Structures are given as structure tokens and as C-alpha cells.
Amino acid sequence: MISEAITQWKAVLGGGGVADDEITLERYARTTLDEAPRPVAVLRPRSTEDVHAIVRIASENNVVVYPISRGKNFGYGDACATTSGAAIIDLSGMDKILEVDTELGYAVIEPGVSQRQLHEYLESHNTGLWFDCTGAGFDASLVGNTVDRGFGHTRYGDHFLTACGMEVVLPDGRILNTGFGHYANARATRVFRYGVGPFLDGLFCQSNLGIVTKLGLWLMPAPEAFRFFFVRLDRPEDFMPFIDRIRPLRMRGILQSAVHIGNDLRILSSSTGYPWERTAGDTPLPEDVREQLRREAGIGAWSAAGSLTGTYAQVRGAARALRRAMKGLGKVVFVDDAKLALSGFAARCLGAVGLGKRLNAQLEALRPNYSLLKGIPTDEPLLGALWRLRTPPVYKTYDILAAKCGLMWISPVLPTTGRDAKTLMRVVEPIFTQYGFDLLATFTLITERAMIGILNVAFDKREPEETERARRCYDALMEAVMTAGYYPYRVGLAGLPKLSQPGDVFWQVATQIKAALDPQDILARGRYIPPLSEAQDREPNESG
């Protein structure tokens, strides 16, 4: 079956478009998770027509295909398929920026377009436009992140909300254009998401119903005024009142951007590894060492950051409201381009203007975050994955797959209240401790009312025992957060089977749609929507 498919794929894509050699398959099987399936082939289409031909051949030969945009789905499944025996469709060669409209502020891109590429395009063409970056690094795909409903930290942080008009290759090869895109000469395809009739775009996120081959993406005009802010919270318990004070600012539209909050360990992990020597090899990190590290780095138990944009007067107004809200809790430090430029100066100059050495170091540490909020991607957040390596690479690397980093993300969604933050922390902290891992955590206020927690189970893949334990820790955490009512916004391969229960009408409906559009279940089998074979006995009403 697969050999016949490979022959046919080669006929369409040419030899260079199809690989099934050991080295390639091994490379695509690399994962930050404990384990992931190995593919049987890797296909590299160059166009929507190629993708059309690929799925047609897959269907004829009953071979499962699994599309990846650029394969940077770190901590969730990387470039790996959900099931073994699949051929990977690597869309990274479809990397055209098809259109950038500077007047209406949007781009139309293919799935292979990376964050770096779009950033460079927007810069070099002096468009005056920014996009919302995600923390997955320079090479991550914008389309891939969007269809996984990933997020960033600006006003456009909810990426799916800024996606406008999809071209989708369906499992049977038909090409669907969503929104107004299926109408001749439609003028509003890239400015109005819904079109007319049912809004179908949601079907193609976190699912396996089609392959998105083109996407409209809204871009922000660089604002008149931009101020980065950060708030240092000294004590672990300050996190809860912080949440309750910041929520009203989000709900009133005073703060338009997402706010990003990281704990001490998550901040430390970006610049340093686990202190194996100080702890004499013990895990998890003892409390006294943790406090020491915090003191040495001059960071609080939690650090929050975000940006204010608008006119100068608006930004001043928002800054005032933010300062007022934080009174007695944490000092708000504002940074703009002028101040950041200053931080490059010698420490004595800084002393003279009252910033001090420590703040200077903090500013330097925040530079990647600062850039991110201005639409400049960065690889720095990836460094957190190196945290638990016994022998980290001597030369700094961002290639976390090559470095054998272990990384699994638990990403529960919480109402933005101090109570919920506290409950969640109480649920997860003892589990991390029990399994000997350190709780590296961030929370992002993604909507005006909800925040997403990203809890890293970071481990060393060179250590089989730790790897196996990490997986048990992940399973225990998923079980615990779901039982507590904090379901994940997104899951990795190991999380997929935990999402659906027999009799759950939601997954029944998703499965019925899958059966209607992909009766052979050849596209990304098991990705969010359970395999049709498993679902058979769950369906009271099979589609007609």
C-alpha cells in the first residue's frame, strides 16, 4: 500500500519531493515528548496542486497522511504524526508571502512562512506593520500556530481571531475557500472573517478535517506610542491579588494586550540551567536554593509583562491606571525604546540616571520579551527547554531537538481570578514535587476573562528513568487539572486520547463531520478527533 503510494507520489512530486530513507525518517521522528510515532515517508509539496495530488493518492492507497507546517510544535508533538504508519506532508516548502496589504493591514501567506520570514518582509518593505509573535522561535510557522490556536502577547494575541479567510485542501482533494473567499471577485475576503452562512473556519483548527494551504492574517500598524511594562511580584502569594487587580483593566479595555506572567523558575530557565551542583544532584529544586537563585537574579516570585499601545496620551492614561491598580502590590516599570537603548550603556551611566545595575540586567533579560511585543520573533523562550539537562551543550543552541531536551506542556484554561489561580497552583504543585520535577509556569491573560497556564514538565531525554517519570507526571497532571475543571486549551500527543469520552455529544458531532468529509480517516488520523474505528461504537446516529 505505502510502497505503491510512494511510487505515485514520486511521479507527481519528483524524487526530491518524497523521502523514505532512514536518516530523514529518524530526523522527523525526533521529539521533545517522551515518545512519538515514526513516519513512513516525508512528502514536500510545493503548491496547493501538489497537496491535492498527495491526498488523492493517499486516499487511493488508503495511507494516512499527516500535515505539518514547519514542524515546530515543540512540547506538543513537534513534527510527529499522531499515529505510526503515516506519511508526513511537510508544507515548509510552500513558503510564499502571497500578498501584503499595507492599507488594510493584512498578509496572505502559505503554511511554510516562518515568523522570521514575515518579520523580515515587513521590515525590509517598510510596511510599518507588526504581527503578533508566538514564543516558538524564528522558524515556527504562523499558519501552523494559528490552526493549533496558538497565541502571542499583543492586542492580536489570539491568533485564530486574526485569521481571515482560509484555503483548505479537503481529505478528498477538493479545495475549499472559507469566508467570502469562495465567491468570485469578493472584496472583503481578508477583512471580514465570517462570510455569509455558517462560519466554517473553526472546523480546521485543532482537528484533522483539512489542510490549510493559504491563510489571511491581520497585521497591526506600528502604534504612535509603545510602552513595555513589567511588574515584579516578590512573594508567591502576590500572584492572586495581581490577577484580581489586572482583570478589571483587561475587561474595561484599558489594557488591550494580553498580559504574560511567569514564575521565578520559568524566568530563570531562560538564562540558566538547573543548579545540579548546588543541589548535589537532588530534584526537585529545594526551596532555599530557589530563593537564593531568585535573589541572585534579582527577580521576584512572579514577573508580569505586557505592552501599552495607542496615542501618547492613551498610553499615558493606561500607564496611570496600571500603576494605580498595582499600588502596594508591585512596582510597575515602564520601558520604551529610549530607555532600552540606555540599558546598553555602561553601568555607571545607568547608576547616574538612577536605574542601577540590577535593573540594567533585568532590562537586558527582558529585551527578547520587549521585541516580541513589537512583532520581532525570538528564539530565547526555547531555552527554557534546556533547564533540566545534566550536561547542557557547551555552545548555546536553540535546537532543542538536537540537544535532547524533554518538554511536555500542560496548558489549562482558567477564569482570570485569583481564586482560580490559587486552586490550580494547589492542584499542580504537589504533583510536580511528587514526581521530582520543577514547576516552570507562565500564565497569559489571553481574553478579557480567561488566562491560559503553560506548565512545563522539563526533563532530560538522555535519562530514561526521568523520561518515563516525566510521562507519568504529565498523565497525573492532566488528570488532576481536568478533574479540577481546568481543561487544556491544546494538548500534545499524549493528551489526545484523554479528551474524548464515549457518549460525549461534542466528540460525536466532530466524528460525524469527520466521517462525512474523510470517511477513510486518512488525514491526520487521531488528531483531536478520535480515530473513526474507535468511534464506531460511540455513535448513536451515524451520518447518512
Contact set for its own copies, span 407-446 (CB under 8 A): 413-417, 420, 446
Among 16, 202, 351, 430, binds its own copies (CB under 8 A): 202
Q: Which one, 283 or 314, has the nearer CB to its own copies?
A: 314
Q: Which among 90-98, 188-196, 277-285, 375-383 is the span making contact with its own copies, rule CB under 8 A?
A: 188-196
Could you say whether residue 280 binds its own copies (CB under 8 A)?
no
Among 125, 51, 45, CA closest to 92: 45
Which candidate, 496, 526, 497, 522, places its Cα nearest to that of 511?
526
Residues 6+ apart with CB under 8 A from 344: none
- Three-state secondary-structure class, residue 88: strand
CB-based contact 107:415 (threshold 8 Å)? no
**CB under 8 A: which stretch of 78-86, 262-270, 458-466, 536-544 binds its own copies?**
536-544
Rounded Cα–Cα distance for residues 316 and 3 (Å): 64
> Of 149 and 462, which CB lies nearer to its own copies in the complex structure?
149
Q: Which of residues 67-96 bind its own copies (CB under 8 A)?
A: none
- What's CA 395's distance to the chain center, in Å? 26
- # residues near its own copies by CB under 8 A: 107
312 binds its own copies (CB under 8 A): yes
How far apart are the C-alpha atoms of 246 and 236, rounded to whole Å?
16
Within a 13 Å sphere around the CA of 326, how many CA atoms are in the beta-carbon half?
Answer: 20
Distance between CA 30 and CA 291 in Å, rounded? 35
Nearest to residue 72, comparing CAs of 134, 1, 161, 5?
134
Stretch that binds its own copies, among 36-44, 191-199, 401-409, 428-436 (CB under 8 A): 191-199
Angle formed by the axes of helices 2-13 and 48-61, to 10°? 160
Q: Name the minimum Å distance from CB 117 to its own copies.
A: 23
Nearer to its own copies, 7 or 62 (CB): 62
Of 25, 186, 329, 347, which one interacts with its own copies (CB under 8 A)? 186
Q: How far is the CB of 421 from its own copies (least distance, A)?
A: 11
Is residue 174 a contact point for its own copies (CB under 8 A)?
A: yes
Q: Please, which of residues 363-402 interact with its own copies by CB under 8 A?
A: none
**Residues 443 to 482 in contact with its own copies, rule: CB under 8 A:** 446-450, 482
- Per-residue mark of binding to its own copies, 117-156 (x: CB under 8 A): --------------------------------x-----x-
Q: Which of 22, 187, 280, 328 binds its own copies (CB under 8 A)?
A: 187
CA 376 to chain centre: 16
Q: Phi-psi region for residue 521, left (φ > 0), alpha (ψ -120 to 50) or beta?
A: left
Beta strands in 234-363 (DSSP E): 260-263, 302-310, 332-335
Alpha-carbon radius of gyration of the chain: 24
Part of the chain binding its own copies (CB under 8 A), chosen from 82-90, 249-257, 293-301, 385-393: 249-257
Is residue 254 a contact residue for its own copies (CB under 8 A)?
yes
504 binds its own copies per the rule CB under 8 A: yes
